[in-house]
Amino acid sequence: MSDLKLSQAAGKYDGEDVKVSDLGLSQAAGRYDGEDVKVSDLGLSQAAGRYDGEDVKMTDQGLSQAAGRYDGEDVTMSDQGLSQAAGRYDGEGVTMSDLGLSQAAGRCDG
């Protein structure tokens, strides 16, 4: 997936083999459902479809509490090292900018 750091991204990413570290992001905001997040929104030069995030695990996102696939149900914001710990993370009202990412591109559904 080093191709993600190149200027040309080809095809659609469905999240199967894409890790957050591959995207150069220091923090992941739960899983991406791909509805609102484009590759260009993540700082890559070429938008190549959307992320559905179905198969992205917490370990892929550099989180210490790896507990299977990240569906946002049981992971709190404090577990992710964020300063705004506000109970259970359902991703409904949390934007990418809230999670320390440089560009907000809609909400993560978690």
Q: What is the pLDDT of residues 4-18, one digit of tens each?
A: 332 223 333 444 444
pLDDT in tens, 54-67: 333 333 343 333 33
Residue 42 DSSP class: G
Residue 9: C-alpha distances to residues 13, 50, 57, 86, 109 (Å) = 9, 12, 22, 36, 25
Closest C-alpha among 63, 72, 37 to residue 52: 37
SS3 12: coil
- pLDDT, position 87: 33
- pLDDT, position 91: 42
Q: What is the pLDDT along the chain (110 residues), one digit of tens a residue?
A: 333 332 223 333 444 444 444 444 433 444 444 334 444 444 332 223 334 333 333 333 433 333 333 434 344 444 444 433 333 333 434 444 444 443 333 334 33
- pLDDT, position 104: 34
Residues in the chain: 110
Give CA–CA dist 76/30, Å, rounded: 10
Burial of 27 (0-12, 13-18, 19+ CB in 10 A): middle
Query: To 5 degrees, how large is the angle CA 69–CA 72–CA 76?
Result: 120
